[in-house]
Chain A
């Protein structure tokens, strides 16, 4: 009876248009990509030969692909740590009675709504050797800190990290601000009456209660920075050499420049596994932490 009624009232045909589009754009291509990863397909009409794990063996033996793998992990972990810490700092500072708090929130969040390509071009200009960033450092008497930010292979990846954090730190900030607004003021007041100082209240009350927000922030940042493409593509194109090459860039070049579709799909599959692995590890870590507290 209930089942029949539910079939009438929430008919599955409501789902059909969304499923068709999702199937065509995401499900089918993803599965097809997963299959191509085990072939030597180069786009020819004759099709492809199944080559088993050969593409993955080739990735392991390709120093450039391995550099991309390493860079992807380093970049994602660095962005996640720096952006989480800075975003939390901004949120805590702006969750106060500062007169300028609303203006500052608007400012810090602004880059997050702009196209990553535009941000990439802007910073490419800012970071040129004779560009504005080095000029300001010189004017401040810090000329010794000036770098060839995007051209020096030992600095370039960190410059990219900096740009991505600059663009998205506002997103982290507003997620934490929403979390902070959910913490009852009484809790902090009670802790203060018990003699807890600022630092102790932060560690004992605020941070544990922000755990759900931290979970969202960390998983969101990790997943999106593992997949990052636009900023790297326009700022460095993976260079100098392979210093800032990431898996999504390798995948793009192998597919749309070299036409190595099978190999490119294998690279994309490695990226997918990486995302899944990070997501699982993070889920496990959060679970354990939430059980403990």
Chain B
């Protein structure tokens, strides 16, 4: 069916309206990038005009003064280890929860799901105290444990969903061949869970990278602090130098931006199928 003339016109008008909406929506991003490229005088004089000369001075300064190198390192270490642990712990747990038809396993599954709803605020002080008593404040370990615990409900929920949909015949075949549960899971089940493993990596990776309060409480001000906490304390020190701050903020989201533009389709599918933590 070929589009008729009024239809084409309507499509054209729709296009125009949407582009205008998109421009308004993208305005903050423009200011963000623009100010980060300007020197302080120019930034405060005219935040909207294009920079007279593009300079990366702010980026170099922010990197040095906010010690973003160390924070970047912390963020990467914490995110990578946490996500790896989540995949491991989550897939194993979900396998049993999804395959066992007992009251106990159903109850445990519900217990995990409750974590999606209960505000972390309620347990914040007792957990902080626990970490304090264990002498683990200001370490990556405390942060990794806390992040993994917080993201487990989402991970278990996602893995259990796909595990239930998988046919059991492949595992049966493995058992007939004499495999134990560990081998059957590792060789047969886990590879079939690959699509959801991708979703788990994307969702929990982003949630962990973006988390603010946990890293602030557990590693804030230390050499182990992650990017959001580093940017936060940087903001406290240089209250009026927005160019510097924005450059630092840009650096801290660069890995996410690169990942997003490379994997946008996958990411959007992941977020649409999962939930955001």
Binding site for B on A (CB under 8 A): 6, 8-12, 14-15, 17-19, 21-22, 24-30, 32-34, 36, 93-94, 96-100, 104-110, 112-118, 121-123, 125-126, 131-132, 135-136, 166, 171, 174-175, 177-178, 216, 220, 223-224, 226-227, 229-230, 233-234, 247-248, 251-252, 255-256, 261, 264-265, 268-269, 271-272, 275-276, 279
Contact = CB atoms under 8 A, between A and B. Distances in A.
Interface of B: 11, 14-15, 18-19, 22, 25-29, 31-32, 35, 47-48, 85, 88-90, 92-93, 95-97, 99-101, 108, 111-112, 115-127, 130, 145-146, 148-150, 152-153, 156, 171, 175, 181, 184-185, 206, 209-210, 212-213, 217, 227-228, 231-232, 235, 242, 245-246, 249, 252-253, 256, 260-261, 264, 267-269, 271-273, 275-276
A202 B19 CA distance: 23
Given A29-B130, A255-B125, A14 B212 contact: no
A256 B252 CA distance: 26
A171 B149 contact: no
Contacts of A135: 47-48
B235 to A, nearest CB: 6
A126 B228 contact: no
A81 B107 CA distance: 33
Given A9-B181, A25-B149, A229-B213, A272 B47 contact: no
Interface centre among B85, B117, B273, by most chain A C-beta atoms within 10 angstroms, is: B117
Nearest to B229: A117
Contact of B99 (A6, A19, A93, A110): A6
Interface centre among A104, A117, A268, by most chain B C-beta atoms within 10 angstroms, is: A117
B99 to A, nearest CB: 4
Interface of B, helix, strand, loop or mixed by DSSP = helix
A105 B276 contact: no
B181 A112 contact: no
B260 A113 contact: yes
Nearest to B147: A25
Contacts of A26: 115, 118, 120, 123, 149-150, 152-153
A115 B118 contact: no
B268 A105 contact: yes
A9 B181 CA distance: 5
A174 B212 CA distance: 25
A275 B92 CA distance: 30
Contact of B18 (A11, A28, A33, A104): A104
B119 A116 contact: no
Given A9-B181, A36-B125, A265-B125, 8 more contacts: A22-B153, A25-B145, A26-B118, A29-B125, A107-B22, A115-B253, A132-B47, A178-B272
A34 B122 contact: yes
Those 5 A-B pairs whose CB atoms lie nearest each other, nearest first: A25-B149, A29-B123, A18-B93, A32-B126, A115-B210
B93 to A, nearest CB: 4
Contacts of B14: 93, 96, 98
Contact of B32 (A17, A32, A122): A122
Nearest to B23: A107
Contact of B92 (A15, A117, A175): A15
Nearest to B92: A14
Nearest to A123: B28
Contact of A220 (B11, B19, B213, B275): B275
B56 to A, nearest CB: 19
